[in-house]
Amino acid sequence: MTPERRIEELGIELPDFGETGYYGGNFGTMKPFHIEGTVLHLSGHVPWKPEGGLLHPGRLGSAVTIPQGYEAARLTAINALAGARHALGSLSCIRSVIKSLNFVACEPDFTDIHKVSSGLSDLLVEVFGEEIGLGGRATIGVQTLADNICFETWIQFSIRDS
């Protein structure tokens, strides 16, 4: 089964950055992706809603709950997949998730950051299966992210030679 078919089965609609443009420009000057050999590097992705605006702004441990953070990370994964599709033309070009570096805006005493990042990891496994979708992962708790974002990821995919 193709990743696009699996996304359809899950009832997920990926944004079309070819139509709407990559929202990252709202947060500074950057290009959406870079391909080096067989590695796709995506710029930061966040829980940006299709209609615009952020899902669950604020910090974990105060304004944002763990289930809300998990949901924000899941939406971030959807946006990252949209970014990969925009870069590659098709998610079938992805051989595997190499790694994700995740940032959780949180209060200093909040230590469940790993539970938030699982929203991203779980979605990637749902779409690609464990063999392709489960990559390395690191999660860092930070004091703040741009515009009060609660979650951000940088992700790398291994891709097929063109």
The total domain count for the chain is 1
Averaged pLDDT score across all residues of the chain: 96
Range of the domain at 36: 3-159
pLDDT band at 162 (very low <50, low <70, confident <90, very high): low
Task: Write out pLDDT tens, residues 134-144.
Answer: 999 999 999 99
| CATH code, 49 | 3.30.1330.40
Phi/psi region, residue 89 (left: phi>0; alpha: psi -120 to 50; beta: rest), is: left
Q: C-alpha angle with apex 111: 108 to 116, nearest 5 degrees? A: 110
Task: Write out pLDDT tens, residues 48-99.
Answer: 999 989 999 999 999 999 999 999 999 999 999 999 999 999 999 999 999 9
3-class secondary structure, 2: coil
